[in-house]
Structure 1
């Protein structure tokens, strides 16, 4: 970190927001991986807690996700208030509701957010084709969705729509596009990146999110990266971003003064090959502490 703060890693072990529940194993598997063990002695790094969704047959999936997100929001807010830098490892992308609600509460107002993802994650329960909550977190953070997932940090939106960018999307439904356009969220999809180049698109995206008055965050769904370089993800999509581009971007982002928190989600160890994806996560954490 450019400001010298200690980075506190929190695991958010949820798979119940997705159709493939194996992402629930991601944080624990990464915490026990050789890739993490090689980083663990770094003086600026600390693995705090790994949080789990509550069990119970009486609770619906959404209720369990909401409970985890409330606990995660408290953990992230506490990390900020203790002067440390939050880095959340998921788990399916529904945990983003907790991460960014906690940041918004900690800084006292909605923040800017760079959402790097193969998907838009902007369905509501009414528009969702699958009902999977990991396809809804960005809408929730913008103030729309299941009421149990709203207002966890601040009343209303946790993220400033005018300072929010989705980067790298290449698989989505028209309802999501319509919703984000109404919100005036900037969408830079895979086709635009191919046409303009990643560096130019990233520069525009950072200009938008980093202009948020209270600062910004970055949420990386590992499926944004081409599965040749990151096979261990919850919902792999072909033709994604090169891992080298993402590492370069991460290094730049980690050094920016307005950055409030980072999040890496959708690690599925069942689909990883030879620890490739775990090593990529470790590389990104390494860029965080070096930034």
Structure 2
């Protein structure tokens, strides 16, 4: 009889990569929430660490890179002892550390399901804002500021042929062209609306699960309609339904190849009535249930 994998939460309290930096408070706010306290009483999950960017007089991108290396070490460490890392951010630039750590621990590039309102695939030369949380997916594919690259493996940290962006509805043409060149499958909001959430998600999950090293899921909470999940750093009109995302995570959690999960861009300053914290807790609960029955 195999024992279910322990879920180890790694909070990453950083908003350096965002224009609105209040999401740096997201992990600590969630840890203090009633939603987390209820989860913490259950067996099979613990809050392993809370990481902060170094406060020394580095430039912002140097601090993001240093934090990325710290997070990669922490994620790889959890995988090495057989745990399932669950990263809670913080802005989406923390993904550079998360998936670099997974790639390093596995020694191979995982597939990645990137659920987001944005494509996050700018480089410094194409970015309209200069915000690094708009660049992590490009960095994970080996393009961008050299300080953000090669943290886990040399070159790309993810398997582009088995990586998918799901739910994007706000992006620039440069990002779209970059991902298309790299062979990343895109399920944009228009296609999901036309073909249906369940059909598109089933295809997306099948694609990432075919990666030989397994796969991970990165959830930017702004993928959800801000009327349902208001506590996000960069809200965009429209979006996925909370119910659909929860049902999707139920499927994800049951997959044997799942290597790590990331939930980012929680902004407690905007979270009316704790709706977004409750959504995070619901997503984690599904992981817990699935691990118990693994």
TM-score, normalising length from structure 2?
0.97
CA distance in 2, matches of 1:78, 1:41: 24
CA distance in 2, matches of 1:12, 1:120: 21
CA distance in 2, matches of 1:4, 1:171: 38
SS in structure 1 at match of 2:255? coil
SS in structure 1 at match of 2:273? coil
> Deviation at 1:207?
1.2
Could you tell me whether the CA contact under 8 Å between 1:73 and 1:99 is conserved in 2?
Answer: yes
CA distance in 2, matches of 1:142, 1:42: 37
Q: Which runs of 5+ in 2 are unaligned?
A: none
Spell out, residue by residue over 1:47-86, the C-alpha distance to the aligned partner (whole angstroms, 9 max, x if none). Answer: 0100000112x31100000000100000000000011110
SS in structure 1 at match of 2:161? strand
Aligned counterpart, 1:24:
24
Give runs of ≥4 in structure 1 deviating > 6 Å: none
Root-mean-square deviation over aligned CA pairs:
0.9
Aligned counterpart, 2:9:
9
Q: Count how many residue pairs are aligned between Structure 1 and Structure 2.
A: 289
Aligned counterpart, 2:61:
62
> Deviation at 1:229?
1.0
Could you tell me whether the CA contact under 8 Å between 1:24 and 1:91 is conserved in 2?
Answer: yes
Aligned counterpart, 1:242:
241
TM-score, normalising length from structure 1?
0.98
What are the within-5 Å matches in structure 2 for residues 1-291 of structure 1? 4-56=4-56, 58-291=57-290
Spell out, residue by residue over 1:250-279, the C-alpha distance to the aligned partner (whole angstroms, 9 max, x if none). Answer: 011011001100000000000000111001
> Deviation at 1:3?
6.5
> Deviation at 1:41?
1.0
CA distance in 1, matches of 2:237, 2:244: 16
CA distance in 2, matches of 1:176, 1:88: 25
